[in-house]
Amino acid sequence: MTGSPVLVHDRESLERALDAQDEAALAADDADGGRPYLRAVVMTMGALHDGHLALVRRARELADAVVVTIFVNPLQFGPTEDLARYPRDLEGDLRRLTGEGLLGAGDVVLAPTVDVVYPGGDPVVRVAAGAVGDVLEGAARPGHLDGVLTVVLKLMHLTRPDVAVFGAKDAQQLAAVRRMVRDLDVPVEVVAHPTVREDDGLALSSRNAYLSAAERARALALSAALRAGAAAAGGGPDAVRTAARATLDAALTADDAVDYVALVDPATFADADATTGDALLLVAARIGATRLIDNAPVALGGAGGTDPTSAAAPGADGVRTAGGAA
C-alpha cells in the first residue's frame, strides 16, 4: 500500500478520517460486488518495535483499512510505575509504521492526548477485569487490568473496528480483553498474534530499551525459564513450575527479583493442576529497575520436545474471539 496514513489527535479529526474510510469502502463495494469491508485496530503505547509492526502487518492482512492508536494510558500505571519515563517517540513511530505491508494512504494513526481520551478527567465508571484481574499482573499491579480494559473499550468505541489485533506476550491482558468482549457483547473480533522475539529468545518489549548490556543478558533468563518449564511438562504442573523457577534463580542476581512463576489455564488464569492438557506458563521479573514479563504454552504430560520460545513454536496467530463467542 502506498502513501502515508492520516495522523489525527482529536475526536473530530478521527471521525472525519473514519468517515473517509467508510466512503472509500462504499466505492470499493460497488467495484467488487459487495465484498464485506473490514476495519482493524492495533492499540499501542508507542515506542514501536518489530513486535508492534507484526501486529500491524496482521491487521493489514485481515482488513481493508487499519487504525493504529498510540496512547500512553495513565489508568494502567500505578503511582510508583514508569508513566513519566515511558519511552515516547511519535515521529519515529510514524516512520516505522509506513512501508510494505504496513500503513498507507487511507489508514489512520490516532495519537490523542489524555484529555481527548478522558475529557472529563479520570473516568468515574470503569471496566472491572473481575477474577482474571486479581491474580498475577493484577496482584502485582493493582488496578492495572481495569485501566487496560477501560481504555481498550473506549478506543474500540472511538475507532469503530471490526477486528482488533493484540499480541500474545501480554497474555493476561489478552484473556481479559477476550472476556470483556464476550461478556459485554462488544461487536469486535479479537485476533491474537504470537510473541515476537529476538534471535536469542528475548521477547520484544518497549521496556527493553531501559536495559543495560549486562541486564539484557540476564533478561534472557525469562525465556530460558519458559524453555526449562516446557521441557519438564511430562512431570506435571509442579515439575514445570519448579524447573522454571530454578532457571530464574540460577541466572538472576541480587539486583533482580522474581515477581512470579505461574502455570495457569489459558482462558481463566486459574492455577493449572491437571497432569495433561494445555496450560500457559508465565514469568515476571525485575531485571535491575526494569520489570519484564513473558509466557509460553505448555502441553502438560507431553514429551516437552518443542522449544516454546522459538519462531516455529505453536502461536496464537489466527485464534479469534468474536463478540459473544468463547
**Looking at residue 120, which CATH number applies to its domain?**
3.40.50.620
Q: Is 205 a known ligand-binding residue?
A: yes
Q: What string of DSSP letters covers 51-63?
A: HHHHHHHHHHHH-
The b/e string for 160-185 (b: 16+ C-beta within 10 A; e otherwise) is bbbbbbbbbbbbbbbbbbbbbbbeee
Within 75-144, strands assigned E span 108-110
- Number of structural domains (the chain) is 2
Cβ neighbours, 10 Å, residue 274: 12
Q: Is 50 annotated as a binding residue?
A: yes
In a domain, 63, yes or no: yes
In a domain? residue 306: no
pLDDT tens-place string over residues 188-213: 999 999 999 999 999 999 999 999 99
User: Do 190 and 261 lie in a common domain?
Assistant: no
Task: Calculate mean pLDDT across residues 235-256.
Answer: 97
Grade residue 34 by pLDDT with cuts at 50, 70 and 90. Answer: low
Q: What is the mean pLDDT of the chain?
A: 91
99 labelled binding-site residue: no
- What pLDDT is stored for residue 311 in this prediction? 55
- Are β-strands 319-321 and 189-193 bridged in parallel, bridged antiparallel, or unpaired? antiparallel
Q: Is 324 assigned to a binding site?
A: no
Mean per-residue pLDDT for 226-246? 97
52 is in an annotated binding site: yes
Residues 263 and 215 in one domain: yes
Please indicate whether residue 9 is annotated as part of the active site.
no
Out of 9, 52, 144, 193, pick the active-site residue.
52
Assess whether pLDDT exceeds 80 at residue 29: no
Distance, CA of 138 to chain centre:
15
| Alpha helices (H) along the chain | 11-32, 50-62, 90-97, 114-117, 137-140, 144-159, 171-183, 213-231, 237-251
Check whether 47 is labelled as a binding-site residue.
yes
Sign of the four-CA dihedral 322, 184, 270, 171 = positive
Residues 247 and 112 in one domain: no
d(CA 205, CA 209): 8
Amino acid of residue 103: L
Identify whether 1 is part of a domain: no
Does 311 reside within a domain?
no
Q: What is the pLDDT of residues 268-300, one digit of tens each?
A: 999 999 888 999 999 999 999 999 999 999 999
Q: Tell me, yes or no, whether 123 and 20 share the same domain.
A: yes
Buried b (16+ CB within 10 A) or exposed e, 75-110: bbbeeeeeeeebbeeeeebbebbbeeebbbebbbbb
- Residues 215 and 183 grouped into a single domain: no
246 marked among binding-site residues: no
User: How remote is the C-alpha of 260 from its chain's centroid?
Assistant: 19
Alpha-carbon gap, residue 114 to 133, rounded angstroms: 24
Asked if 54 and 134 sit in the same domain, the reply is yes
Residues 189 and 226 in one domain: no
How confident is residue 326, by pLDDT bands cut at 50, 70 and 90?
very low
pLDDT score at 71 = 98
Residue range of the domain that includes 281: 206-300
76 is in an annotated binding site: yes
Separation CA 273–CA 238 (nearest Å): 8
49 annotated ligand-binding residue: yes
**Confidence (pLDDT) at 85:** 87
In a domain? residue 43:
yes
Q: Is 95 annotated as contributing to ligand binding?
A: no
Contacts of 286 (CB under 8 A, 6+ apart): 256, 257, 259, 292
Question: Do 185 and 83 belong together in one domain?
Answer: yes
178 part of a folded domain: yes
CATH of the domain at 249: 3.30.1300.10
Q: Cβ neighbours of residue 200 under 8 Å, at least 6 residues apart?
A: 220, 223
Per-residue pLDDT reduced to its tens digit, 133-143:
999 999 999 99
Residue 35: per-residue pLDDT: 61
Same domain (yes/no): 174, 227: no
Retrieve residue 129's grid coordinates.
477485569
Q: How confident is the model over 115-126, as a mean pLDDT? A: 96
Partnered with residue 193 across adjacent β-strands are 167
> What dihedral do alpha carbons 150, 156, 157, 162 form, nearest 10°?
-150
Q: Do 106 and 215 sit in the same domain of this protein?
A: no
144-159 and 171-183 are packed helices; what angle lies between their axes, rounded to 10 degrees?
60
Whether residues 147 and 21 fall in one domain: yes
308, part of any domain? no
What would the grid cell of residue 101 be? 505491508
Reported as a pLDDT band with limits 50, 70 and 90, residue 322 is very low
Find where cell 534463580 sits: 249
Least confident of 9-23, 154-168, 270-284, 295-309: 295-309
Lowest mean pLDDT: which of 62-71, 88-97, 235-244, 312-321?
312-321
Which range, of 90-99, 174-183, 314-323, averages the lowest pLDDT?
314-323
Contact 291, 274 (CB under 8 A): no
Task: Name the pTM for this structure.
Answer: 0.90
48 is in an annotated binding site: yes
Q: What is the pLDDT of residues 72-106, one digit of tens each?
A: 999 999 988 889 988 899 999 999 999 899 999 99
Is residue 117, in this structure, part of any structural domain at all?
yes
Are 174 and 257 part of one and the same domain? Answer: no
Extract the C-alpha cell encoding 274.
491437571
Flag whether 46 is marked binding.
yes
Q: How far is CA 136 from CA 16, 145, 270, 281, in A?
A: 41, 11, 10, 12
> Which contiguous run of DSSP H or E holds residue 8?
strand 6-8
